[in-house]
Amino acid sequence: MDDDSAIKMGTLDSLFYGTTNPQEKDREVEIRMHVSSYHLSLASPVLSSQLEISRSRPTTRAARPANALHLTGWDAKALATVLNIIHGQNS
């Protein structure tokens, strides 16, 4: 059974770079990914401690903003692969 939430790896180049050949574009792009803080916490003690700090704010869950981690220097396709594996979407 296919999971509609999983992105097929063959389409990542066109999603991230607007082309199937990312080398055609020599520009910096901003890519946002929505991931589970729970799964990130399980995968990394460092991320777990960073996410614990943001969860300790005295606000309701609905009132507090989503956590944001800003990463630079990562290949978007490689990061998506790692995040898919962390989230059990490695098929």
pLDDT tens for residues 35-82? Answer: 888 888 888 888 888 777 655 555 565 665 667 777 788 788 888 888
Half-sphere exposure of 26 (CA within 13 A, CB side): 0
Contacts of 91 (CB under 8 A, 6+ apart): 3, 6
Q: Look up residue 64 and give its amino acid.
A: R
Position 4 pLDDT exceeds 50: no
As given in the structure block, the two tokens for residue 5 are 């939430």
Q: Which residues lie below 8 Å from residue 90, measured CB to CB, with a gap of 6+? A: 84
Q: Please answer whether residues 35 and 29 qualify as being in contact, where contact means their C-beta atoms are separated by less than 8 angstroms.
A: no
Domain ranges in the chain? 9-86
Higher pLDDT, 76 or 20: 76
This prediction's pTM: 0.54
